Amino acid sequence: MTEATQNKRLRAARSELLEEAEIGTVRNETLIQQRRQQICDAAVELFLEKGFAATTIRDICARSKVNQASIYDYVANKNDILRRVLNQLWFREDVPTLPEILLDRELPLEDAIARYFRESWRLKRKASLLAYRTIPHLPPEDRRAMRLREIAVMKDLADQLQGRLGLEDEDKRLEIVANVLVFLSAFAPMRDWLNRDIPDETLVRTLAAGATAMIRASVEGPMPGPAAEPAPEVATGPDTARHA
């Protein structure tokens, strides 16, 4: 791990959390933290079970054992709960991103990827599901924050891969591959209703091997260009319009 690489500031490290509201009434700071934790814990479970919009404040109160009126002493409103939950789970810093793992140049690519998948699936299961499902319920500025974070991670990853593969020039295809890798880190949570009888570690190693091959293969040969394909049938993106 050369000094230059190690010291390289990762763009993603600068990404910001979603803004949380301030509340006025309750004073005891530790109590606030505790109640908020109760609320968020219950909320995550419910959001995953029923979806954000179908979860009511009453549901959250019942499960978190916080009174229906009191809850507004600890969170500003329903959307504030979602923001806090995402800050805790999606933006958590104890789960390394792949570009961070790749800073260790001693670690072979495949092992790095395996570690990335393993940790993501172990610690960010809920976060991945939640993020992909609740994005439409976020106000535009919050969506933007999440998108910026994702883009930063992807760019970092593309940089790291470029170094690993010993490529001189930027290659657009590396961004595609980076995107896929991040996408695959949500694979197990999003699809764990299938393949249930396969041990997690088999999944990790198989996918890491496959992903490594994919990376290497992706930058071989000439860059494929757009062909004479007709335009897409639909224009609707998940949250931001693609062809706006």
For a copy of itself, the closer of residues 8 and 173 by Cβ is 173
Q: What is d(CA 6, CA 171) in angstroms, rounded to the nearest whole number?
A: 22
Out of 8, 78, 126, 164, the residue judged to bind a copy of itself by CB under 8 A: 126
- Note whether 35 binds DNA by CB under 7 A: yes
For a copy of itself, the closer of residues 45 and 73 by Cβ is 45
Q: How far is the CB of 214 from a copy of itself (least distance, A)?
A: 4
For a copy of itself, the closer of residues 73 and 192 by Cβ is 192
Out of 1, 21, 26, 198, the residue judged to bind DNA by CB under 7 A: 26
- Note whether 226 binds a copy of itself by CB under 8 A: yes
Q: Are 97 and 150 in contact (CB under 8 A)?
A: no
Binding region for a copy of itself (CB under 8 A) out of 67-75, 97-105, 119-127, 160-168: 119-127
Q: Are 177 and 215 in contact (CB under 8 A)?
A: yes
For a copy of itself, the closer of residues 5 and 162 by Cβ is 162
Q: Which of residues 69-98 bind DNA (CB under 7 A)?
A: 69-70, 72-73, 77-78
Out of 13, 31, 54, 167, the residue judged to bind a copy of itself by CB under 8 A: 54
- Note whether 167 binds a copy of itself by CB under 8 A: no
CA distances from 76 to 54, 69, 82, 85, 135 (A): 19, 11, 11, 13, 19
Binding residues with DNA: total (CB under 7 A): 19
For a copy of itself, the closer of residues 42 and 74 by Cβ is 42
* Angle (nearest 5°) at CA 128 between 38 and 183: 170
Amino acid (1-letter code) at residue 85: V
- Note whether 25 binds DNA by CB under 7 A: yes
Residue 9 interaction partner, one of a copy of itself, DNA, none, beta carbon < 5-8 Å per kind: none
Site of tokens 């170094």: 163
For a copy of itself, the closer of residues 102 and 211 by Cβ is 211
198: left (phi over 0), alpha (psi -120 to 50) or beta: beta
C-alpha 93: how far from chain center: 11
- Note whether 242 binds DNA by CB under 7 A: no
* Residues near DNA (CB under 7 A): 25-28, 31, 35, 55-58, 66-70, 72-73, 77-78
